[in-house]
Amino acid sequence: MRPVSVSSARQMAALRVLRDSLEEGLLRLGATLFGAGAGRLPNTVCLTIAGLSSDKILERLERKGIYASSGAACSSAGTEPSHVLLSMGVPSRVAMNAVRLSLGLDN
């Protein structure tokens, strides 16, 4: 395993700030966040909004030029809930409506 460069460490820190800011706003809008407070990638947000299907959330985001995904990260089909969310104890009906955002420094 190679050590993380100073540049990479700075980028990860910047992404973490961006992610945390986004999550604060999402919480104010009533979103439920998965994995918040846990050690995780600095560029990924996983959420659901009660009363909205993942399809509806993705449709609304896409109209704003924001592209996201649903379902398990390892599956592009999006027909199965994330096994990670299920292992975290998230009910299947909630996990099926989870949406994942991946951030970059250009966001």
Residue 2, token pair as written in the block = 């190679």
Is 46 a catalytic site residue? no
> Edge-to-edge strand order for the sheet containing 99-102?
31-34, 44-49, 99-102, 69-70
Q: Which of 74, 76, 89, 106 is catalytic?
A: 74
Residue with tokens 């820190």: 13
Length in residues, the chain: 107
Report, as residue numbers or ranges, the catalytic residues. Answer: 74
